[in-house]
Structure 1
């Protein structure tokens, strides 16, 4: 997520009365073999986005459930053939959005580690290439206390929240 997008998401959430200043949540990855750290505004945004993408059956439902920015991302990723925004009653299927089925969109937190984490914390992870997408930065759960300490030294408030991480990864209720 770009810095401008992070600022926008944080402003939206602060407008809802949430304190998002340098707040990070962490929990286990989908396979349970690594720890994922996510800035809280992004975790909340991804959870909402993934939930709506899973549940929406029409473009109107999608529009109603997403932030304006996320909705426009969907429109940009849709193959509308005529270049027009889909009608609210048009059928919606997330897998038809460019990048969704192959995991390029919405953003993946293990890739985002490389963009926002302080260097001290990054050094505790292992950078791994992926076959199709950007590199990821994985963290061994045995290093949780050291990573948390590095984030806290950088000014972050860090909270373990496996449910928030699962929701951000699209695994809530799984």
Structure 2
């Protein structure tokens, strides 16, 4: 039985299918982020999507990012892939970029490679075959690390992304 250290940095990680590498997220917020992404992506109408209130991610059709006067009416059917920021790959933000903020610099350099994407900035590409060694290193430094491939891929928009082929 493992004991929970309240001072430990908690991470969730998994195989990010879109970039075929390990990706990391903050375990404190990942589940709430995924719920917000799912709520927006699964909205049936534009009005329903606009009404999703978020605390962890930005709503790409919320009033601060999308003017309802310039788009579909609230009662029109909603398709997340018709939203510009989704079609451009900007929403949700790429999960593989988070390791650049979450992992210590020396581990980023040792286990990953910074790779530029065509339009959306850099990601830290960590090969899947480095998983055991990296996870052991993180745990040795006091991190609590849990693997959850499904959660990582929800955070990456895997269920609806037009970039998924």
Q: Same fold (TM over 0.5)?
A: yes
Tell me: CA distance 1:21–1:47, structure 2 relative to 1, closer, same or farther (3 Å): farther
**Contact 1:52–1:66 (CA under 8 A) maintained in structure 2:** no
- Corresponding residue number in structure 1 for 2:93: 107
Written as runs of structure 1 = structure 2, the 5 A alignment for 1:17-96 is 22-31=9-18, 33-62=20-49, 65-67=52-54, 70=57, 74-81=62-69, 89=75, 92-96=78-82
TM superposition shift of 1:90: 6.1
- Corresponding residue number in structure 2 for 1:11: none
CA distance in 2, matches of 1:122, 1:107: 19
Residue 159, structure 1, aligned to residue 146, structure 2: yes
TM superposition shift of 1:157: 0.4
- The gaps in structure 2 that reach 5 residues or longer are 1-5
Structure 1 window deviating more from structure 2 (127-136 vs 19-28): it is 19-28
Q: How high is the TM-score relative to the length of structure 1?
A: 0.69
- The gaps in structure 1 that reach 5 residues or longer are 1-18
TM superposition shift of 1:39: 1.5
Aligned residues: 154
- Corresponding residue number in structure 1 for 2:102: 116
- Corresponding residue number in structure 2 for 1:129: 116
- Aligned alpha-carbon RMSD (Å): 3.4
- Give the helix-richer structure, 1 or 2: 1
CA distance in 1, matches of 2:90, 2:39: 17
